[in-house]
Amino acid sequence: MRKTKDNLLTNTFVVMGLALIACFLWGSAFPSIKIGYKLFHIAKDDTYGKLLFAGYRFFIASLMIFLFCFVSKYSIKVNKKNFYRLLLLGIIQTFIQYIFFYLGLSNTTGVKGSIISSSNTFFSVIIAHFFYTEDKMTWKKILGVILGFLGVIIVNFQSGAFSGGFKFSGEGFVLISSLFGAFAGIYTKKLAKDIPPFAVSGYQLFTGSIVLILVGLSGGTHNVTFTPVGSVLLLYMAFISAAAFSIWSLLLKYNGVGKVSVYKFSIPLFGVFLSYFLLKESFSGSNVLLAVVLVSLGIYLINKK
């Protein structure tokens, strides 16, 4: 029975379906965060408020995972050694990655931020080459990553969008965030071999969120105002993290990092579409169509045997 499950989770179409679901959820986070800032009355320059908002989101996400495991009687028990390993993952993936992401995004444009954050896939494929034999670099993988990255650039391309130069506290921080995210993916795969995927997601979200909340509160911010509508949105955003991280941990347990990570190129595509429908933001239809083609080709090349 276990072998059948393992084979199912390595099937290309199953991996593609689950990965795209996770990426769709992550893509929906972009407009959700923007709407959330308005509903919770978080000012544009309120860094601590943003971190506190993120901390609440990830904390509730961890509780959702624990509740699901309790109801479904899915064991998430870990020994002391593994708990400390999960604590380290939470610091890397939930705390450090999102500290740099939120601070960097505050000092650059959304276009630049979304493009640079997609470098996570580059870093993941390159770093995995040195850790896993099934993730060795090939010309097909290199070409696939390049095509996917070009697709992300095209979908975000606007006249004058790349002006303003490179600011370390802006674009540099987003790049650092992507690098930490890539290392977190490698570490997640390593932990998922010995620890149940739901435990990996739940504990890392819980520990990372606690640190985010503490840092947010240390700034003395009191600008996170709860409302009924805002609370519903926060619950949805928590569900995004709970479901997406759990799916990702499950996929990394049974598949190579490169095979899974390449689907992250679809996150900006989903973000563009959902921002158009939810925020009424404009986009170029021809750019999106070309981006979809390039990202699809990139995914195909990396997964092609």
Q: What is the mean pLDDT of the chain?
A: 80
Q: What angle do CA 213, 219, 223 make, to 5 degrees?
A: 80
Q: Are 299 and 152 in contact (CB under 8 A)?
A: no
- Residue among 207, 197, 200, 188 at smallest CA distance from 261: 188
Q: Please give the distance of CA 19 from its chain centroid, rounded to a whole number.
A: 11
Question: Residue 119 above 50 pLDDT?
Answer: yes
Residue 304: pLDDT band by 50, 70, 90 thresholds? low
Q: Would you say residue 195 has pLDDT above 60? A: yes
- The burial class, CB within 10 Å (0-12 / 13-18 / 19+), for 239 is middle
Over residues 128-155, mean pLDDT: 75
Whether residue 214 is predicted with pLDDT greater than 80 in this model: the reply is yes
Q: Would you state the torsion angle of the CA atoms of residues 36, 37, 40, 41, taken in this order, to the nearest 10 degrees?
A: -150
**What predicted TM-score, i.e. pTM, was given to this entire model?**
0.81
pLDDT tens digits, 240-295: 999 998 998 888 888 877 778 778 878 777 877 777 777 666 655 666 677 667 77
Cα of first residue to Cα of last residue in the chain, in angstroms, is 26
The pLDDT value given to residue 159: 46
Q: Look up residue 62 and give its two tokens.
A: 């961890």
DSSP string, 166-190: --IIIIIHHHHHHHHHHHHHHHHHH
Question: Hey, what are 165's tokens?
Answer: 């130069």
